[in-house]
Structure 1
Amino acid sequence: MDCCQLLPDSVDMGLILVNGEGRIMLWNRWIEERAGLAASQVTGVTLAEAFGPHVDPRVALVVREALDFGWSARLSHALHPMPLPLYPPGGGRSERMKQSIDVTPVVSEGRYHCLLQVRDVTETVRREALLKQQSRQLRLDLQRLSRAQVELQRSEMRFRELARQAPAGLFEADAQACCTFLNERCEQILGHDLEQVAGTPWINLLPVGEQARVRAIWCLAAESATRFAEEFRYIRPDGESRWMRAEAGPQRDEHGRISGFIGTMLDVTEFHERAIRNEFRANHDGLTSLLNRDRFERHLRAAISGAREVADRLALLFIDLDDFKGINDTHGHHAGDTVLKTIAARVRRVLRSEDMVARYGGDEFAVLLTGTDDSATLEAIIFKIHQAVGLPINLGHCHVRVGCSIGVSVYPDHGSDPLSLLTHADKAMYAAKRARSGHGTTPA
């Protein structure tokens, strides 16, 4: 078996890799068994051609967004229960299996590909439905048996056994958020047992900066008898920072008043960090961690709108490294990457925190400056950039120096829209480069 196919075939999920033209490159055994189509039948065709008219149109949309814009997406089973015509292996084709699909852009050779990770959540959905059904039944039982102490004890035992077996953290709290019950999983998540937190609102366990926000949402839910649902940062007793999501429904007493909430507590740190990483990758250059071109131009467009409202001025700098190609030719692309990362850090360091800097492409950088009302301030910043860029760069086996050419455009003097400012700065940069001709990269 091809080693490149062995790993995809060994995972317990479906993997489909689509290239920039929307054609299937990878189709693992998990998908084969549930789609009834061998990889050899679908390689090189589109998803629509592979699955026919039975695929959910939302799949094609999120794949296109991943290929065109590098956007990630998740087709949750709650909203899109059966996006692909997949069936349980060996179980006939009477009903599609429930699915959850993660759509992730993958960069290869400068182009976006799209990886679809398909998970069978049929059993999860069944268990969730069963748990909801059991919870509803338990609530009815508690109402019916509240008049009899013996029946109340039986209901309590049933509830605690369900809570003990639940994979999520379960909690019960009164209207003031004081916990009256925590299952074992919830105690593990919080790092506290019920005796330690009883009588104190669980919201007091949160960092000070989160308490007011979460308490306001909890009080609103209690006052309006609506569901509480919120994500928040949590510091465990051992100092570890985690992200949690709590969801709870209101409980009523025999008079119909809100007596408290019962709900779940989940550790969503992995999902939260993944979302942050995906957002960072979508908006930043992978080598230098500066803003990428698309994000920079969106900031520029917004900054122009803001400056127009308050009659402010903006300055746009185009920076191009002189004879950067000579570094790649002489020392290799790894050395070129070192130079780009070093220059990016230096430029970022000499600017103010409110200034924006981006890798615009290749060895070009762009800087957006605010509050540069006089030419002396602008010239001082440009001088600092020249000085910082011109310092020696250690490549390990030698040092090199690079210079740079900088073009400037000012809003509103040189244009009132992003295109005109970018064009003027680009032309000014090339004029500066011609003026600096003969100044290149030299070993230090």
Structure 2
Amino acid sequence: MERNSLLADSVDIGLILVDCDGRIRVWNRWVAARARRQASQVIGVGVAEAFGHHIDPRLPLVIREALDFRWSARLSHALHPMPLPLYPPDSDGSERMLQSIDITPLESDAQRACLLQIRDVTETVRREALLKHQARQLRTDLQSLSRAQEELQRSEMRFRELARQAPAGLFEADAEARCTFLNERCEQLLGRSLAQVAGTPWPDLLPVGEQERILERWCYAVESATRFAEEFRYLTPAGQPLWMRAEAGALRDPQGHIRGFIGTIVDVTEFHERASRNEFRANHDSLTGQLNRDRFERHLRAAISGAREVTDRIALLFIDLDDFKLINDTHGHQAGDTVLKTVAYRVRRVVRAEDRVARYGGDEFAVLLYEAGDARMLAAIIAKITHAVALPINLGHCHVRITCSVGLAVFPDDGQDPASLLSQADLRMYTTKRSQPGRPPA
């Protein structure tokens, strides 16, 4: 018996041997420490008596079945988590430990007995619970990840479809301005595919005069982390000139550094052309295409200011067509318009490209010569103008001729401001007109 007790005390599970009469014969040290009763207190008594009324009532029944019918059984922690009032050795006895009990029938020399093997499954249950919790959490995380992946796929599909159908060009470029994405519209605008421009900073695709300016603005946007927005000229591979506007916002890496930009490119050529047409209409005569009176006087004021600073001379010519009313009365106003357009064209051809020509009134023209030169040169210019104007003009059904009278004023000799120069040139024009043969004296 001592040998059996010694053997029973050496194992790390609880062992209780019950004889055929239901009395305890072996109560090992493991059980004693957790039941808080020594073997000497329970040997020879029944299991129910040893543990008192705190025992699970099913346990004595299972022991009797093992002794009478040789049935093995297991009280698992899942269905019977705490059959016996056993407590962790160092606990305060407020909470039972979780147990698993195997009841095994024994028989030797016509003696029946059964062995109770008790295991502490508290840690096992705790780990199982932890694993179950982790499994549930993992399952939840996987479901969330799956939903996130599905949403990402939907978002990507939406972006691709929006990018495909977007009326504006969409592009993405890194911090060095190398394109990494172009939508279909952007490729159409540029006349180039992504494969053709990848690896090259996109400002290098612009005309030489625009490259440095746009690249400088791009670098500034990268350094200052500001929005990029610029308009620039662009020449397609087919040679078509366009005006483009690019706007882009910064893309950042997890550290907050600028890694590139994503934005739009739109064709603003029509807007620029419309603005140019509006500006032209605001500053030019609609019939002849030359400067109008207001714009000409602004050029005159600016020329006087510049000439005053460098002590230069400028000349103002005032031209009036002789007997222009007769052409309108004889051939109609359409013929008169043809004469005015022809005269404006001829005067423009005579003077230099940097000089200014304006239709100043109904049949009056003004010319601003930025370099007055001497009297001989001015007389030669006036002679060329009068000769050019006097050439025959084709009206379609006939040719007509018209002469002109020219008045000259020179800054600073004849005036120090626009009004003085215009007045002096007008006065000399009328003096010239009256001095022509056949003209009545004033």
Query: Where on the TM-score scale, by shorter chain, does this alignment land: which range?
Result: 0.5 to 0.7
Aligned-partner Cα distance in 2 for 1:165–1:273: 26
Residue aligning to 2:344:
344
- Supply the distance in 1 between the matched residues of 2:314 and 2:226 (Cα, whole angstroms): 47
Q: Please say if 1:365 is aligned against 2:390.
A: no
Deviations 1:57-95 (A, max 9, x none): xxxxxxxxxxxxxxxxxxxxxxxxxxxxxxxxxxxxxxx
Match of 1:379 in 2: 379
Query: What are the residue-to-residue correspondences of 1:233-382 with 2, within 5 Å?
Result: 233-382=233-382
2:315–2:408 Cα contact (<8 Å) kept: yes
2:244 aligned counterpart, secondary structure: strand
Distance, in Å, in 1 between the alignment partners of 2:159 and 2:395 is 65
Which whole-Å CA distance do the structure 1 matches of 2:154 and 2:177 have between them? 26
Q: Deviations over 1:310-335 (max 9, x none)?
A: 11111111000111111111111111
Letter in 2 for 1:411: F
Q: Is the 8 A contact 1:317 1:408 kept in 2?
A: yes
Partner of 2:388: 388
Residue identity opposite 1:252 in structure 2: R
Task: Verify the 8 A CA contact 2:372 2:410 in the aligned structure 1.
Answer: no
Amino acid at match of 1:329: D
Other-structure match for 2:417: 417
Cα displacement (A) at 1:166: 2.6
* Alignment partner, residue 403 of structure 1: 403
1:149 Cα deviation from its structure 2 partner: 8.8
What TM-score, normalized to structure 1?
Answer: 0.63
TM-superposed deviation, 1:155: 5.5
Amino acid of the structure 2 residue aligned with 1:174 = D
Where does residue 190 of structure 1 map in the other structure?
190
Question: Displacement, 1:434?
Answer: 0.4
Q: Which secondary structure state, in structure 2, belongs to the residue aligned with residue 303 of structure 1?
A: helix
Distance 1:172 1:439, change over 3 A: farther
Cα deviation, residue 412, structure 1: 1.0
TM-score normalized with structure 2 length = 0.63
Report the 3-state secondary structure (helix = DSSP H, G, I; strand = E; otherwise coil) of the residue aligned with 1:361: coil
TM-superposed CA distance for 1:238, in Å, is: 2.4
Q: Structure 1 residue 350: deviation in Å?
A: 0.7
Query: Which structure 1 residue ranges, 5 or more long, are not aligned?
Result: 1-144
- Distance change in 2, residues 1:402/1:439 (3 Å): farther
Q: CA deviation at 1:400?
A: 1.3
Displacement of 1:164: 2.6
Flag the 1:332–1:224 CA change in 2: closer, same or farther, 3 A.
same
Looking at structure 2, the residues matched to 355 and 243 of structure 1 have their Cα atoms a distance apart, in angstroms, of 29
Deviation of 1:160 (Å): 2.7
The CA deviation at 1:306 is 0.7
For 1:216, the equivalent position in structure 2 comes to 216
2:231 is aligned to 231
Task: After TM superposition, give the deviation of residue 156 of structure 1 in Å.
Answer: 4.3
Please say if residues 252 and 260 of structure 1, whose CA atoms lie closer than 8 Å, have aligned partners that are also in contact: yes
Identity of aligned residues (%): 74
SS, match of residue 286 in structure 1: coil
Q: Unaligned 5+ residue runs, structure 2?
A: 1-144
The one-letter amino acid of 2:184's match is E
Answer whether contact 1:322 1:439 (CA < 8 A) is retained.
no
Question: What code does the residue aligned with 1:184 have?
Answer: E
In the alignment, residue 162 of structure 2 is paired with which amino acid? L
Aligned ranges for residues 52-67 of structure 1 at < 5 Å?
none
- Matched residue type, 2:325: K
Which residue of structure 2 lines up, in the alignment, with residue 87 of structure 1? none
Find the aligned partners of 1:151 and 1:257 in 2 and give their Cα distance: 27
Shift of 1:439: 7.1
* Rg larger for: 2
CA–CA distance in structure 1, aligned partners of residues 270 and 348 of structure 2: 30
In structure 2, relative to structure 1, the CA distance for the partners of 1:383 and 1:314 (3 Å cut) is same
**Alignment coverage as a number of residue pairs:** 294
Which SS does the other structure have where 2:237 is aligned? Answer: coil
- Partner of 1:232: helix, strand, or coil? strand
Counterparts of 2:396 and 2:434 in 1: how far apart (Å)?
A: 31
Report the Cα offset of residue 237 of structure 1: 2.3
CA RMSD between the two structures: 2.0
1:212-266: per-residue Cα shift (whole Å, max 9, x none)? 2211111111121111111112122222222111111111111211111110010
Paired AA for residue 366 in structure 2: A
Q: 2-side partners of 1:437 and 1:292: how far apart? A: 32
Equivalents in 1 of 2:438, 2:328: separation in Å? 18
Aligned letter for 1:286? S
